[in-house]
């Protein structure tokens, strides 16, 4: 295992597997967020259900904490592999080319690293914002027992919504290149028809996640969710 991790192929495999886990979470999280359009009662009930998954075998929020630890490990491995692959790439080319050309590279691929940095900062803010209510709320506005109200109040601030929308676009670009690269790394999109299918899958996944997630802050600002 350690020998595999020390190779670029091993690190790419780790990025592919952890990317699959994180992509699954992002899609599931987006689908859960869309429940806000069903109204306050159903959205809050969904939030309560998440805290009680596995009951009575599991205690209050135990499933959520297990999930968070798995996601944290996946994020750490994903970022660690990405950083080390970047270092390996620079080490293999110690002298920079006089002219850099983006041959066969998409915009998403060229911005992958910066997108990762933006998303890391976004996740930190997102947790502080909606999970702990430590930022983005005036004193007394954050209500631990009403996730629906917290979302409405939080996204009612236009620049907070704007930040989320920009972050979701960055997420979409990251997903597009990530989903495509994931299957390429696993060697399942090397043939013509397969390449088209997985390219389409990457495009659809990124667009669905972008549109699904930004529909919430847009819905709040437009008064559809209030």
Judge whether residue 198 has pLDDT over 50. yes
Contact 72, 63 (CB under 8 A): no
| pTM of the predicted model as reported, rounded to 2 decimal places | 0.85
- Gap between the Cα atoms of 30 and 200, Å rounded: 20
**pLDDT, tens only, 25-66:** 999 999 999 999 999 999 999 999 998 988 888 888 899 889
pLDDT surpasses 50 at 102:
no
Rounded to 5 degrees, what are φ and ψ at 224?
A: -75, -30
Q: Give the tokens for residue 45.
A: 């009930």
State the pLDDT confidence band at 217, using cuts at 50, 70 and 90: very high
Q: Are 129 and 154 in contact (CB under 8 A)?
A: yes
What pLDDT shows up at residue 189? 63
Q: Is the pLDDT of residue 215 over 80?
A: yes
Tens of pLDDT, residues 120-152: 889 999 999 998 999 999 998 999 889 999 999
Return the CA Rg of the chain.
20
Fold of 2-97+104-221: 3 helical TM bundles of succinate and fumarate reductases (1.20.1300)
Q: Are 220 and 37 in contact (CB under 8 A)?
A: no
For the chain, what is the mean pLDDT? 85
> Residue 103's pLDDT is what?
43
Determine what percent of the chain is predicted with pLDDT higher than 70.
85
- Confidence band for 96, pLDDT divided at 50, 70 and 90: low
**Predicted local distance difference test score (pLDDT) of residue 56:** 83
């Amino acid at each position: 295992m350690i020998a595999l991790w020390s190779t670029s192929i091993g690190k790419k495999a780790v990025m592919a597997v952890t990317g699959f886990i994180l992509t699954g979470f992002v899609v599931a999280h987006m689908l859960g967020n869309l429940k806000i359009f069903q109204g306050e009662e159903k959205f809050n009930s969904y939030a309560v259900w998440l805290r009680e998954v596995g009951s009575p075998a599991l205690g209050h929020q135990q499933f959520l904490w297990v999930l968070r630890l798995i996601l944290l490990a996946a994020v750490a491995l994903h970022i660690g592999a990405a950083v080390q692959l970047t270092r390996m790439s620079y080490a293999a080319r110690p002298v920079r080319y006089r002219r850099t050309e983006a041959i066969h590279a998409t915009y998403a691929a060229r911005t992958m690293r910066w997108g990762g940095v933006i998303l890391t900062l976004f996740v930190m803010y997102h947790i502080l914002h909606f999970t702990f209510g430590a930022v983005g709320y005036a004193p007394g506005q954050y209500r631990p027992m009403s996730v629906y109200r917290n979302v409405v109040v939080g996204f009612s601030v236009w620049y907070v919504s704007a930040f989320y929308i920009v972050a979701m676009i960055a997420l979409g670009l990251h997903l597009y290149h990530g989903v495509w690269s994931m299957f390429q790394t696993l060697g399942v999109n090397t043939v013509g028809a397969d390449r088209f299918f997985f390219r389409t899958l990457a495009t659809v996944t990124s667009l669905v996640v972008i549109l699904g997630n930004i529909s919430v802050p847009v819905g709040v600002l437009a008064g559809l969710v209030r």
